[in-house]
Structure 1
Amino acid sequence: MPAWRMTRPLAPRALQDSRRLGVRPVPVLQPLRWLALGWRDLRRCPLPGLLHGLALAVFGIVLALVAHRHFWLLTGAFTGFLLVGPLLATGLYAISRALEHGEPAALATAMRAWYPDDGRLVVFGVLLAFAGTGWVVTSAGLITGLSPHPIDNPMDFLRHVVLAEHGHVFEAWVALGALLAAPVFASSVVAMPLLLDRRVGVLGAVLTSWRVVLENPVPMALWAVLLTALTVLGMLPLLLGLVFVAPWLAHASWHAYRDLVVPAGSVEHA
């Protein structure tokens, strides 16, 4: 185990890790700049990003084909699919970092990011998966408990929940989703690229991510809306839009991290 992970108890070490990183306030419309820079990176090094996006789209299509008759399995699969998105984009963060430093960037650059010398990325990915599972269970309980009709497939959900003439089940479901998604977003918005880039613990990365959101509530709210809207748009044309949208947002997320987090010299590079 690396010495930097053993020097202090977990909570004090996490606080120290986070405090060694500055948080920069940004203008409200700064997320639009991140999208522009992300698109530039995708154009400069398209192959790794398009392969990542194609893999995600194919995986999503397979999920839909396998689970289309099992609504909660389908919902859980796609929820987990979206929540672990930051982990799946790890290789593309490495591409953007290489481009930023003027280093060669290729598919091998992205692949090397999947072989870290510690388990921090894996731990964070597991935490995101647990968050997705929790949402699916909570969501299923809400819909099953409040809907007057059984919900067995996507058409049932559309007919009896989304388009229901009476009751507010859909509104309650959306509100609950937003309530549960907000802390996950706040915990992960810069955590994954930070874990790739710096020698900080998982909890230290999460605390830094929360500091970013608290320091920039309006820009980060806009960023959350853009991430959600573009992802949904990418999923509409049979998920094929994800081929371009997923790598675009991944590269943009790297630039969000670089804009928002000010690394101190005492925090080592990963």
Structure 2
Amino acid sequence: MKRIIPIFLCLVWINPILLKAQTLGGNAVFNFLNQPISAKQASLGGLNISSIGKDLGMAFYNPALLRDNMHGGVNAGFYSFAQGLQQYGLNTAFHVEKYKSNLSLGVQYLDYGNLTQTDAAGNILGTFQPKDYVIQLGFSKQYHERWWYGVNAKFIGSNYGQYQSNGIGFDVGLTYHDEESELQASILVKNMGAQLKTYDGLQPKEELPFDLQMGITKRLAKAPFQFSLTAHHLHRWNILYSDSTFNQLEAIDPNKGNSGA
């Protein structure tokens, strides 16, 4: 554990420096990476990183939740949103006894349906079918009795007709579980990485939706309930949603987080 904690601290501080300041308000690329693929994850607000169980979809989000008892399991999810947008998710896991570790393989795919393609003057040129996807490989291993750590490596792809982009990303998670007190806690460094190819090949590369999250879950001793609390964007003190048009209308200074008047 003395080696693991310094690694986490380095990841937290070095990643934002390498990728410049992380932003909010839809200014990052591949924001679909934050979309949950598990019904359980979605029901818990889409951000829970500390609820330990047998749901492979939770391990897709936080690799430190990947466990031995998930060996051979399969998780499949389908979501249908407004205007024909559909999301598919599929992942499975394997326990490697020789190395006392676990591996997972998963896919997330978003289909935005058929859209009308036009030129700058509004002339209809035809239709196109935009899509986003990620292919992810996960790893986890137990450290002593109560600690687990894990890593996700993912290839990210996006296709919007003639505009295509891809990138690579990584998630690193650390989980603590005390079975006697039913206390579960996690820290997750999410979406480290970079855009490899921009959509038009000309614009500067954009940042991934990096996030530093911490969560805690406590199960009640004499009731079939547990409570969770998750904090996100802990690497930023100012999480004001920055919209340039709104800022101008309301005289808001995004650097101060309040009215510039």
TM bucket normalised to smaller: under 0.3
Which has the larger share of strand?
A: 2
Which gives a bigger RCO, structure 1 or 2 (Cα 8 Å, sep 6+)?
1
Which has the larger share of helix?
A: 1
| TM-score, normalised with respect to structure 1 | 0.25
